[in-house]
Amino acid sequence: MIVRLMGEGQYRVDDSVLEELHELDDRATAAADADDEDTLDQTLEQMFELVKSKGAPLADDEVLPSDALVPPSDLTLEETKELMTDEGFIPDLPS
Amino acid sequence: MPGMMNRASTIVKAKINKLLNRAEDPGETLDYSYEKQLELLQNVKRGVADVVTSKKRLEMQTSTLEQSVVKLDGQARQALQAGREDLATEALQRKAVAQEQLQGLDQQVKGLEAQQEKLVASEKQLSARIEGFRSQKEVIKAQYSAAEAQVRIGEAATGIGEQMADTGLAIQRAKDKTEQMQARASAVDELVESGALEDFTSGGETDLDRELRQLATSTKVDDELAKMKAEISAADKPKEIEQ
């Protein structure tokens, strides 16, 4: 899966990391629903960390569309919400 | 996934798709798209230059205010030594206003610095991606049939469109920040112009300056007078002895 960390670039994330990423995504969605900006920002930072530590940055000559976009933690609550979908930031795995 | 980034990249995609359908030669489309990317890169560079300009202006204001604080502090001391508490109070009040402004400016300059760093990083990334797109388009042109090339171009165009949208967002955010800073800088300028925070360093003389100078002059005159009196009486004394 290709994940774009907005403002920082694209990473290729292995499927084994997806479960952990989905957990964080669920927490982010819950925090956004509860208008809890602090928790939301923290969770977004954790998602950034996870993708950066477990994923591999895309090479400069790999020009590919992303499967998911994660916004930076310094957006406002409203801006972040606007980027969210029913599935949060990470689309559900095709079953 | 609806969102501002995606909307932006969808718009880019739609535009590119329109182009793809119209163009008979995929190679031409790729070259055109590449030109558009280079244009965007120029915009990013201009964005970085704008942020740098705003930062310089704020830094200049900061040093002006710092000089004011030092000068006002000195003036307050001077006034107090001369027993003019009213003047000292006024100088200290102005110093407080200058300090308050200074604190705000410091934070703004730091914020702008962070924005500048991010924008420079975005610029580098976009530039690398554009270079990647350039080599990819040469491969597509050389190795793929027209039908296959359409698919590959679609992918590359979406990828680069996304990068352009992300960078576009970074420019927008930097621009918003810069506008805030400019409003702030203008507010400080207005404050200085209105006299509420007189620019003591600009060479223009303020009432406070004038009063302090008069005070210093009269003290100096008094001192000199006393010195002269002492000299005269000292010169007179030997004469008295001679007589």
- More reliable by pLDDT, B150 or B15: B150
Going from the C-alpha of B37 to that of each of B25, B30, B86, B131, the distances in angstroms are 19, 11, 64, 10
pLDDT the model gives residue A13: 93
Interchain contact, A63 vs B166, CB within 8 Å: no
pLDDT computed for residue B186 by the predictor = 77
Where does residue B162 rank: exposed (0-12), middle (13-18), buried (19+ CB within 10 A)?
buried
What is the reported pLDDT for B151?
A: 75
Chain A residue whose CA is closest to B167: A7
**pLDDT for res B15:** 57
Mean pLDDT computed over B14-40: 69
pLDDT digits (tens, 9 = 90+) for B70-91: 888 888 888 888 888 888 888 8
The span from the CA of B48 to the CA of B31, in Å, is 26
Interface test with B, best of A44, A63, A81 (most B CBs within 10 A): A63
Between A9, A63, A71, which is nearest B136 by CB? A63
| ipTM, two decimals | 0.73
Beta-bridge partners for A70: A5
**Residues B185-204 pLDDT 10s:** 777 777 666 655 554 444 45
Query: How much is the average pLDDT of B155-171?
Result: 79
Q: Are A70 and A5 spatial neighbours (Cβ–Cβ below 8 Å)?
A: yes
A7: tokens are: 């403002």
Check whether B64 has a pLDDT greater than 70: yes
Instruction: For residue B90, give both structure tokens.
Output: 């006024």
Interface test with A, best of B116, B166, B171, B172 (most A CBs within 10 A): B166
Going by pLDDT thresholds of 50, 70 and 90, the confidence category of residue B239 is low
Q: How many CB pairs under 8 A join A and B?
A: 59
Identify all chain A residues contacting B159, using CB atoms and an 8 Å cutoff.
62-65
CB contact under 8 A, B132 and A63: yes
Measured between CA atoms, the residue of chain B closest to residue A74 is B173
The predicted pLDDT at position B22 comes to: 54
Residues of chain A predicted below pLDDT 70:
93-95
Write phi, then psi, for B63 (nearest 5 degrees).
-70, -35
Q: pLDDT tens digit string along A47-73?
A: 999 999 999 998 877 778 888 889 888
